[in-house]
Structure 1
């Protein structure tokens, strides 16, 4: 991108969208803090557990190294965090690959159930919005968020290389 993002002219709609994205990030972080309290875990631990649950639900379970990248921690710090989650009965490390050195992270059924219980309490309003938004609008928003996520991923990769 050749325009300086700080000095480029932005439309009021573009600015409003960026504000709403920021608001969502802040609100999601606050909901994550409530989940941490609900589960009796530190924020970093519940963030990691959330990533592990999301990945398992999507059918793409995480390795410890991938989790470390996603939560922005070193592999050593992530190992300590995973030890806590495993000792508390929230996470299992499994070896599902023919390469027995590869570890896969899975939430325990109890952790998954506790997180689902929280979503049943805390996710009512969000679920309502998703269920009442017309499918065509959701498709447009989904496509936009995919492009924004791709752009953020590309920026992260570029910054990691530099």
Structure 2
């Protein structure tokens, strides 16, 4: 890890542009999550959690409550309250699918999954078009870059959680 001050470093224009575009993606993604929340009549945090549960289930890697908690940046207690709300509203199913019966798996309720799918068929058209029209070589480059930047952010998070990277003003 190099000792660089990100705010005062002499960045190349392309490097600064990448950081601005990553920020813009986060802003746009947050706005889409707000629309999903309104579509499903949920709070933004509940919609975010439900979205994480749906994406994980679709990928064949359903989440546990602890994994969800880490992904959405909430304490396990707050996540439990959120999951109770989503379960009571019929959006989430909790099951014990593992040989370890203590492990809870989160799955979207079929009706909620379908409602989110309908939302994506409206809201995801432009994003899907960009993905479909991007060359495989360009996609591979983007995947490698995003994997590296995501790992860098995860490493910074681990360091900060461990307390070794906190700087006090």
What TM-score bracket applies, with the shorter chain setting the length?
A: over 0.9
What displacement does 1:134 show? 1.2
The answer to whether structure 1 residue 110 and structure 2 residue 111 are counterparts is yes
For structure 1, the 5+ residue unaligned runs are: none
What displacement does 1:6 show? 2.0
What displacement does 1:138 show? 1.0
TM-score (norm 1): 0.97
Moved more, 1-10 or 120-129: 1-10
Match of 2:124 in 1: 123
Q: Alpha-carbon deviations, 1:80-118, whole Å to 9, x = none?
A: 110111111110000011221111101111111111100
SS at match of 1:89: coil
Moved more, 114-123 or 133-142: 133-142
Q: Alpha-carbon deviations, 1:21-45, whole Å to 9, x = none?
A: 0000000000000000000000000
TM-score (norm 2): 0.93
Inter-partner Cα distance in structure 2 for 1:65 and 1:144: 28
Inter-partner Cα distance in structure 2 for 1:49 and 1:129: 25
For structure 2, the 5+ residue unaligned runs are: 164-169
1:1-162 alignment, distance < 5 Å: 1-162=2-163
| Structure 1: 4+ residue segments shifted above 6 A | none
SS at match of 2:106: strand
Inter-partner Cα distance in structure 2 for 1:65 and 1:106: 14
What displacement does 1:19 show? 0.3
SS at match of 1:105: strand
